Structure 1
Amino acid sequence: MVGHALVHTYELAVPIFLPIWLAEFSVIDLGVAQVAVTTATLGAVVTLGYGLFGVGALPAGVLVDRYGSRRLIAGCLAGMAVAFVLLGLAPNVVAIAVALVVWGVAASVYHPAGLALVSKGVQERGTGFAYHGVAGNLGTGLGPLAAAVLLLVLEWRTVALLLAAPALVGAAYAVRARFDETAAVEPETVTDGGDDPEAGDAGDHGPGGEASDVSASRSSSERRSDGGVDSLTAFLGESRRLFASAFALVFVVVACSGLYYRGILTFLPELLGDLPGFEPVAVAAVLPDALSTAVGVEAGDGRTLEPGRYFYSALLLVGVVGQYAGGKLTDRVPVEYGVVGGFGVLAVLALLFVPVANLGVGPLLAFGAVLGVALFGVQPVEQATVAEYTPADTRGLSYGFTYLGVFGVGALGATVAGTALAVAGPPALFGVLAVLAAAAATVGVVLLRR
């Protein structure tokens, strides 16, 4: 939960910085050429980091199956701290790109490690995914909120440096943590991976009680006993086995999900800033005089409060409800129903965004709450679907491929969003997003019929 919260803190603090970078930088100096800074070019820069966030998940998944989750999560947290220190020292867009690349490589480790840990270490898997998802959404919402508040009184580079501190604390905790990484797997399936477990801790990883009937039906995927991936031949063999099964369809679902997620969130603060009712407000006009003096804010100093940033943070925070509800749902109904229903709702919401935004702030606030619940409600459903369709001994590899789809393929959503906005505007962007969600729902119907 600590790791998940911090990964998404950094992931979604980046869009808060995007409007500032658009205003501060005019060109990207590549040495041999200079490129103008636009939503399209900054979208491509962000895609570098977000893409590695996904691509790195595949080798990370292989490492999880061999060495366990704890060490990898500790390294992930330390690497993200280094990345935000580099971001805080960045003098130009090229240096920003380097910092985002470092962040992407470090963060890519988390999801295969964390989700393999939940799926093999917690008896009530859906409930485990629910709490894990709640933690992720707290980071998803509070991270951007913290960045937005700090930007009221501090320069963005200073904010980036301050944001590095929580990851250092999290890494120190992860290094010391001890637990049984395979508490929910039958003894004969336990092979490699993990630190020396403390047997007495096994019962501490879930809310207690018996697994539900739906969870019990998954036992066939938890009985493999032939170990994880330990060579290129084994990697290719296990990969072929995964994609020769229905997991190939699950991969299409998670790739569409990643494109939708990245496409809607990357430029959302920028989109909101252009809507009526979300105009910037001078910070000095909303702070009491005593507080303004204490923090060094003066009238006419150009510091503004951006309402869109806070709407964005609120949308991400309300996703806590979606994560919890989606996780609990997977303990009670077949995951395929969740895929069909969840992505069907997201398709409709994408088509409604622009019309609702034109109705004013009030309707958009209510709509944003529904969107936040739906957007994050499908995530535990996806995670449980992967666990349903994959064997326990290569769960790390399975989640590696999953997050190659979610964050690797999904990273292209930033480029798609930036290009759509630059060329055709918001209606085109949300039309593309609706098609992606509809495609995922259609694949869910295929899985259900199988």
Structure 2
Amino acid sequence: MSSPRPAPLTGIKVLDLTRVLAGPWCTQNLADLGAEVIKIERPGSGDDTRGWGPPYLKDPQGVDTSEAAYYSCANRNKLSVALDIASPRGAELVRQLALQCDILVENFKVGGLKKYGLDYESIKAINPALIYCSITGFGQTGPYASRPGYDFMIQGMGGLMSITGERDDLPGGGPQKAGVAVADLMTGMYATVGIMAALHERGRSGLGQHVDMALLDCQVAMLANQNLNYLTSGVSPQRAGNAHQNLVPYQVFAAADGHLIVAVGNDTQFRAYCGVIGRAGLADDVRFSTNSNRVINRETLVPLLTEAMKLQARDYWLEALERAGVPAGPINTIEQVYNNPQVKAREMLRHLPHPLAGKAPVGASPLKLSESPVEYRHAAPLLGEHTEQVLSGWLGLPPEEIQTLLGRER
């Protein structure tokens, strides 16, 4: 069997001026795909999320290290360089690094890097082939461009919280954010796509470009079918709890001893589902025989299904529905997720070398490339761990200047 080809982005160099989640999520994708990513961090404090704990990674003796789990989730495979971009020398060194890079990603407020000569126009002037990606709350244009933007407020402003959570007329009803920072994560993913497209286009033109990413734009875009539910009807979708706006039944049901998800996606599956739960006649009822009619008559149908589902245990239903080809699943804790045999088989948990923890757990990349696989080189770096290595190897700074710089940066 031949050895795998190098990772897709091997040889690509990325300058990472991001912090928190959206930007680091993007640059971690690039690093996983083989790019060499240099993360520039503030001396002394570094990425904000370094302090977002507990929990922290533990050393081999089980004692907390200084490395927050949050920071570790989005910064593997990167090299950390501690430089103060607000100092003339620090900004100059970053510009020198940008000259050698293919991609720069930043998430400073609009115009915030101009005073350091690190904005797009300044960097384009010295490296016109550079792909420069800016990630902000609201983008580089528009009346909100200068505002700060954070995931939680974007989930609200961008409409997600108006359709997430239990119905207002039921106990616990009201707006609810998602359990992870989905606006940040989706922006990081869209930014990755935009950068990869610009990289491909550069192969034709030889030139870089500015990729302008906004959390609000991405949040609006990811509303997907809910966008079109509104745009085609003129009626804003409302919160529906665990139910689906366009499919019935597609929701959580209570079994005799717990809960499970039933996700019927077509009429054939509905007929099979009705047979499993002992209500075969429902599939022949004109009110329920098609998905459109089931959506219209949701309030009549769902109580009938709810009563039937209470008659057996959760695992009974899961096994019976699987045999019948009806999509269904449990509601797992994250511990149960990592104990799931499918998750184990897909190797979604990895352990990477770490200078303080010995080894650090990471949630693996979902990208599975047969011939040029994702790389897992090392865990998220310590603050400034690679400053000397990069300044010497990339820029050829003499040891005495590096030591002087390090002394000043500390």
The TM-score with structure 2 as length reference comes to 0.28
Whichever structure has more helix as a proportion of its residues is: 1
Higher Cα radius of gyration:
2
The TM-score with structure 1 as length reference comes to 0.27
Which structure is higher in RCO with an 8 Å CA cutoff and minimum separation 6? 1
